[in-house]
Structure 1
């Protein structure tokens, strides 16, 4: 998770605006899923809106702990494969060890979701 630098002076490092106490939501992307932590205390620049978080706060430590646990749990499987073609359609071959590990076979129905040109997700239904 990217954190802003701690600013003890009470002024924005970018525009020199005054920092005021506020709250915001932090979004973290974990294994393609967005996790939102609402109501996180921060300092917000009254001029440009830049947000500063206290990396040493208990709230931030709690977020870091949860994020670490989720990243560890969802580290999952990542394979790089080339597509092949058969009869005019593209095929994605799944290795036999992955097939066995996840109980896949030719009778399993999957759902394919395309989020953009670089992200396609295949899920067992």
Structure 2
């Protein structure tokens, strides 16, 4: 069985997520998956799928080099009573995507402060 067969669900997911510049190759018993994800959440989905196929990454037969290139739609200033979920719902993005785009200022997604300027990614 080839590695592409073994990790078919991972390869299919990469295609479904629209990973740009997707390159998949086998070399020296290692499957290399390269590309650019639209969001950190998509990259996380790929890692989750890999872990399901190879729990705890014991086989060490996949190398994923997935970059994240989020496009910024606009900046949003946090108001009293806001939450990442509420902001995400208003812009049609997940709170996780907003959190990932703003990790430089948000350390805890449950604690955001009025006045903070958040980047809202295009998903």
User: Shared topology, TM-score over 0.5?
Assistant: no
TM-score category (smaller protein): under 0.3
TM-score (norm 1): 0.22
Q: Judging by fraction of residues, say which structure has more strand.
A: 1
Q: Judging by fraction of residues, say which structure has more helix.
A: 2
Larger RCO of the pair (alpha carbons < 8 Å, separation 6+): 2
When Rg is computed on C-alpha atoms for both structures, the one with the higher figure is 1
